[in-house]
């Protein structure tokens, strides 16, 4: 198969020197991509942390080898543009969307106008001069002399949901989902609803608390399987290859 694996985190710029992001390093996606290449698949790994590849078992086998392409991105916009181009290209057979994509992007940074303040006990803005107001503080490098600043965040598009719709991908799709502070039973239920929403063929789901140790993979024969983190690359590729055979790929 010709496989695209996305991995890592996205940066959301606040100004030219500051950004918000998340904690994920792309090691899981890199391990899956390397394992897929080892099983004879042509793999493109699109990651925000290409340096993480060298720390994954089997990395030496992919350096400069046929059927291995390593591409990098930094921001949400980078990832969105590169995914759109790669997924729309002919010949792609599977997308494993492991990247931890920002749910929000910055839409401005503001300071309270004179006479305006935020009351944290009542969770509301107040002003001695009538209507509360904010002043735009956007700059190439936001000044550090304000007592407090307010960052406006707006939703980003769900890239995994664009794969079937905007980018019209008809191959195999694997979605990854992380939740925090829920039971494993709740995780499986949420994962299956999320898989169907994105029209994904397979789902890999875990919790932040258990991510270093296990994940759920499914549906396989109608069920989700709890597997160790070490087993994930092999179990996922076996399931993906099975899906490919069943679909006549």
pTM for the full model? 0.91
Domains of the chain in start order, with CATH, are: 2-102+158-246 (3.40.50.10300), 105-155 (no CATH)
Q: Tell me the per-residue pLDDT of 154-212, one tens digit each, with 9 for 90 and over.
A: 999 999 999 999 999 999 999 999 999 999 999 999 999 999 999 999 999 999 999 99
Q: What is the rounded distance in angstroms from the CA atom of residue 23 to the CA atom of residue 8?
A: 9
Q: What is the rounded distance in angstroms from the CA atom of residue 88 to the CA atom of residue 108?
A: 32
- Give 168's DSSP letter: -
Q: Tell me the per-residue pLDDT of 115-170, one tens digit each, with 9 for 90 and over.
A: 899 999 999 999 987 889 999 999 999 998 888 999 999 999 999 999 999 999 99
Q: Do you find a cis peptide bond into 219, omega within 30 degrees of 0?
A: yes
What are φ and ψ of residue 220, in 5° steps? -120, 115
Partners of 217 in the β-ladder: 204, 225
Q: Tell me the per-residue pLDDT of 6-61, one tens digit each, with 9 for 90 and over.
A: 999 999 999 999 999 988 889 999 999 999 999 999 999 999 999 989 888 888 88
Q: What is the rounded distance in angstroms from the CA atom of residue 249 to the CA atom of residue 246?
A: 7
- Give 1's DSSP letter: -
């Amino acid at each position: 198969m010709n496989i695209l694996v996305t991995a890592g985190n996205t940066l959301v710029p606040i100004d030219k020197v500051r950004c918000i992001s998340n904690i994920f390093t792309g090691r899981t996606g890199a391990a899956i991509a390397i394992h897929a290449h080892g099983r004879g698949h042509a793999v493109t790994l699109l990651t925000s942390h290409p340096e993480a590849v060298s720390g994954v078992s089997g990395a030496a086998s992919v350096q400069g080898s046929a059927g291995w392409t390593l591409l990098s991105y930094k921001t949400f916009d980078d990832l969105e543009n590169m995914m759109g181009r790669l997924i729309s290209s002919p010949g792609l057979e599977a997308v494993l969307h492991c990247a931890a994509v920002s749910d929000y992007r910055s839409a401005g940074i503001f300071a309270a106008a004179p006479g305006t303040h935020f009351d944290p006990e009542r969770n509301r803005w107040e002003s001695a001069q009538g209507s509360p107001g904010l002043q735009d503080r956007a700059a190439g490098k936001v000044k550090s002399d304000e007592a407090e600043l307010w960052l406006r965040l707006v939703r980003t598009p769900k890239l995994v949901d664009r794969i079937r719709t905007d980018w019209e991908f008809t191959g195999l799709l694997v979605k990854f989902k992380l939740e925090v502070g829920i039971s494993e039973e709740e995780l499986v239920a949420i994962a299956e609803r999320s898989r169907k929403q994105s029209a994904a063929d397979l789902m890999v789901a875990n919790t932040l608390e258990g991510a270093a140790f296990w994940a759920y993979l499914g549906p396989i024969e109608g069920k989700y399987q709890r597997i160790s983190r070490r087993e994930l690359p092999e179990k996922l590729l076996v399931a993906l290859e099975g899906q490919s055979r069943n679909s006549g790929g």
